[in-house]
Every structure is written in structure tokens, then in C-alpha cells.
Structure 1
């Protein structure tokens, strides 16, 4: 299950908040490694490190690092901060964090009786790569919105893995990240998606929340065996808390796998079968035969959700202004433009929702 190796740190490649990327030497040669200083301490050149090289052996893309498990000769100091929430529970690297919803938190009283998002729009997407694109569409229509990211635990567990999150925070595009479930390392920690959404609203003061899994989704090529099923569950959570869910479709013109070409089966399953509460589904008005294919594929969702056509005019330029590199499954903006335009369209739709508008009704109307 785990490939263990001993290694030596050769050099620091780069770092961003919460993570340090390294070159290490093992018995098999040089490799790229990643360390989370909050968990293992900060590695320095010359340090001996214990590594988990499973991802390297499997040739994984997103997570293709040797992971630093420990710096045995220089262990970090014991933590002295508050917090009783254990995440990554019962694994060798289980970590204790201060949850916004636990009794010792300064936010406990706010969240103890909190029960409503007060109509806050909640954009839900399958892949982490949709996050910056959604923000591009959102800020193109609402430049001064305050946006929080709620990170599910279907992909990476440490929020520190996401360089995009760190850069978006630095650019002022995120008010903060809320890590929920077994994920950790956000600006705010929460037990469930529900308390994570409530924390986004009442602790971070968000106008809009975006919910996706962390980087590195898991899929099996089966109808139900993919981590993005949680997108449907997030729609239910937002609706249960009197939020206004907006479903971002996963659409691709560059993916050669038939199940993901056009509207991905991930979106059709998560929103069509898992999401029991109605959402507004942002349907991008893409040109040509491909746009017609997308519009046809999404029609079954109209029996439960409100299908909202969204113009993509100007969104390509908005996407070019992203403060982080846009990439999904190794494809950049112009290699899979439809994917990013569709995500941006969901952001545009969320930004357009009037404060007084109630929950959606199923159907295929011409407006929001």
C-alpha cells in the first residue's frame, strides 16, 4: 500500500504558504518531493527524510510527488495551540486543528445556533480546477464580491497542496478557505460541509461561496465511483441551509474520453441523481455544433433543476485575467476553452442573482 524510501534533501525548489517543494536523492536517484512544514517541520538541504513514494511509482499527475513523512533527525516542536478536531483521523499523520464549530473556538457561539445562509449563492463544481475560472466569471460581473472557498475532502486533504488557493488568497480573490470533513489546512476548519458553508457566511462574511473538492479527484470510469459525487451532496447542503445553489457543469471539448466529452457524466450523475434539491444550472451558450451538443445533453437535468442559459461573451478575456494559471487535466485555457468558459459562466450566473430571489423551480426558462 505504501512505498517507503529514505532520502536526502538536495535543494529547495520553491515554496508557497503551507508547502515546500524539494529535490531529494533516494537509492533510485533524484526525485521531486513535497513537505508540509506544519506537519513535519521545514526540511533543509542535507536533511535525512522519510518518504512515501507511492505517487511517483504510480505515475500520478496532480499528486506526483514523493511525500515527506518525517525529518527523523530534527523533529518539530510539539504544538501548543488550541484545537480538538482531529483530521486525517487514525492515519499516521492525523492532525489536531481548531475547528470553527468546536467549543473552544471563538466562533462557536456564532455557529452553535446558526441555521441559515441567508440566501447566499453557493457555486458547486466537480473539479478543483474550476475554482479560478468561476472566480473570473464572478468578478467580471461583481468586482467587489467577498468570496469564500469551501474545500471538500474528495481530493487532496491538505489545502496547502493547492498553489492556486495560496495565490488566489494573496491576490485578494478569496476571503479565505474553509476545509471540511477530513480536509484540513484552511483559514477556517469545520466538521461538515454544512458547518463549512455556515462558517463561510458567518465567520468569513462571504457574499458567495464556491464548493469543490481539493486537487486530484478520484475516478474509476464507473457511473458512481468518482469523488465528484460530492457535488450533488453539496447542492443538498446549500439548499438545506437556505442558500441558493448554482451548479457548474463539467464540460470539455478537449477530453477524448467519451464519458467526459461535452457534458461529463460526472455532472449528469451528481446533479441528476444525487442532488435532490433544485439548483440553478449554468448552461453556457457555446457556439456551433458543440454548443448544441451541450444544450441537448443537459436537458434531462431540467426535470429537477432550473436550466439557465448564460452568455459567454467577454468571458474569454476575463479568463485571461486570472491571477493563477488555468489548467485542467493538463490542458490549458486554449486547449479546453469550453471547460473554463462553462465554469466562468457559473460564476457570472451567481453574481447576477438578485438578493430577493427565492429558491429555483425546475424547468428551462430563458433567464436567471
Structure 2
């Protein structure tokens, strides 16, 4: 069979940096003048160097043209007149492989890593609670629930590669690291840019435990999940695979449900079909599925929908008193699909309840 020819998969532009808007670890937000006017762009200095005002930049404007919410930036592909220096030091893992921006990183699990010996025969996370979530936006809410009941614990974020590949894209992660709400970020699979790099989710979980010394790990994809409105065509399927990985490594999988009262799409109202598919069909190992004790008719609907998972998993009902206040104290802005805390309180409370339950497993 002949290879299909693809046309128009990338929208290319050349522009000039007119201002630096803001920056956080690993990323710089810019305004760039292109033929159509000015656009908002994002550069990752570890990949392309740090663009300055007046620099010519090569842009990929595909996501911007498509009007994507999370990924609505023109991406800086290169600063052709001022290339960064060649990388130095060890590292043989190639991530974003065979793309124009493939990057070499030092994996915690590779030979030459100072952590190779600790991970070479590692086969267990020693009963560590592993909270699994569909969306990246659940991460700070889970942490709010964890720290409300267990301040001072060490929590690592293990990032899958179903959404953004660079961990630098997440402003939330940068702030959570700065506030010591995360002891580190582990990037797995094709994702990169974490404090620790790992080849697979399995070695990522082992690194969270044995390299970062985490008491709890939270597993979720990076920002910008992909969904198609079909039963199987969504990146959150990987949440079920994360349950399996946690279980095979002798962890304690805690499944955070994706619940919404504010989403206008019927398939995501109550318990999302993403959770029902990932945990009900993909997760072959048992997990503790956290169901928040939400009030009223909506709470009853959530409990009824979640009961479908009881044939494979343990359903754990968790009280939600105090979680709204804990969420309001989040060090980062809470937002999912453009909805804030008060616009979809059930989503964030459900995630926080999973964190609360994980904290109870430490006592």
C-alpha cells in the first residue's frame, strides 16, 4: 500500500518578537508580529533558546488557527538567527522521537544516571497511594484534598503523554513546585521537561517513590487532552492503564472520577463516560474508586452511575465537608474546560475527595 500524502498538517509563519508578555520555568510567552497582525506565541527556551524582542522566529500556528483553548498559542519552532548552544552532559533518552523537535534527556532509569542502580531492580512502590485522574486540571484539586488532611507529605506528579508533551507548558506545575506542593514532576513516555525523566509510566512511578521519596503520586496527562466524542477515542483511556501500572508495582490505586454538573455535553454530565470506560473497561486491576458524598439529586445520580464500576473495583464514599474551603485556598487558579471553581464545583470537589481518601491511606 502506498503511503498517504499529507498536506497542510502544519501552518507555518515567520514573525518578529515585539514583546515578552510573561515567563515561568521552561516557558516564555511572547507577542509576535506576523503577516496577519500580532499573535500570542509560546517558546520553550530549553528547546529553542530564549527569544528576545526583535528576534525573527519560525512559528507553528496550527493550534492558534484552530482556536484550541488550552493549546491556543503559536509555537516557536526556532530562532534561526540566534541558535542555542549544543547540549552538553549525559543523557541518551530521546523524547518526542522522530519529530523535528526531538530532544535528548537524561532518564532516571538509563545507564549513566545516578539513579540507575536504585531503579535497576526496583519492582515495588511499597504500597504508595497512586491517585489517577483523567484531566490535568484535577491535579491541584487532588492536592487540595491531600493537604487539607495531611499537611507536610511529599507528593509527586507523574505526567503521562496524552496531552502536552513538555511539562513546561503547565503554569500550574511551575507554581505548585515553587510552593512546595509538589516534591517533583516525573515525565514519562514521550513527555519531557520534568524534574525526573522516565521511559515508561512504570519507571516513572518507581522514580517518584525511590528517587523523589514521594509518599503519594498523582498520575494524569498533561494539559490539553484529546477527545473525539467516541467511546474509545480519547486520551484519558490511559487512566485505566495507570491503574494497572500502579497495581502491578504494589501501589494502592485510587481512581478519581471525572464528574461534572456544569459541562453542557451529556456524555460528561455526572460521571463522565471517560471514567466509566477507562476504569470499567481498561483497568483490569482493582482500584478504590472515590465517590464524593455530594448532596441532592445530582449526588444521587453520581452514586448510581459510579455503582456500575463496583463489579471490578471497590467503591469508597468520601465525605466532602470542608473541601470547598480547601479548594478556595488552592495556590493556583482552578479551571477545567474554561470553567472555574464555582462554575463546576462538583468536578473539583470530586477530585479533592480522591486526594482526601489517599491521605487517609497514609495513617
Q: Same fold (TM over 0.5)?
A: yes
Aligned pair count reads 355
Distance 1:57 1:63 in 2: 10
Give the aligned partner of residue 147 of structure 1: 155
Inter-partner Cα distance in structure 1 for 2:81 and 2:89: 24
Match of 2:5 in 1: none
> What SS does the corresponding residue of 1:335 show, helix, strand or coil?
coil
Which sections of structure 1, spanning at least 5 residues, go unmatched? 356-368
Equivalent residue runs for 1:232-243 within 5 Å: 232-243=240-251
Name 1:332's counterpart in structure 2.
340
- 1:27 matched to 2:52: no
State the match for 1:362 in structure 2.
none
Secondary structure in 1 aligned to 2:280?
helix
- Distance, in Å, in 2 between the alignment partners of 1:56 and 1:186 is 25
Equivalent in the alignment of 1:253: 261
* 2:192 alignment counterpart: 184
Structure 1 partner of 2:117: 109
Q: 1:138 matched to which residue of 2? A: 146
Write the deviation string for residues 8-38 of structure 1: whole angstroms up to 9, x where unpaired: 0000000000000000000010000000000
Please list the CA deviations of residues 43-78 of structure 1 after superposition, one character each: whole Å capped at 9, or x if unmatched. Answer: 000000000000111110000000000000000000
**How far 1:144 sits from its partner (Å)?**
1.0
1:64-108 superposed Cα distances (whole Å, 9 cap, x missing partner): 000000000000000012100000000000000000000010000
Q: Determine the C-alpha separation between the residues in 2 that align with 1:319 and 1:293.
A: 23
How far is the alpha carbon of 1:354 from its aligned partner? Answer: 4.7
Give distance in 2, aligned partners of 1:295 and 1:239: 24
CA distance in 2, matches of 1:324, 1:71: 31
In structure 2, what is the equivalent of residue 296 of structure 1?
304
Matched position secondary structure for 2:164: coil
Structure 2 residue 282 is matched with structure 1 residue 274: yes
> 2:16 aligns to what?
8
- Matching residue of 2:4: none
Distance 1:354 1:135, change over 3 A: closer
Q: Which runs of 4+ in 1 moved over 3 A?
A: none
TM-score (normalised: structure 2): 0.97
Residue 71 (structure 1) aligns with: 79
User: What RMSD over aligned residues (CA atoms) do the two structures have, in Å?
Assistant: 0.5
Aligned partner of 1:164 in structure 2 is 172
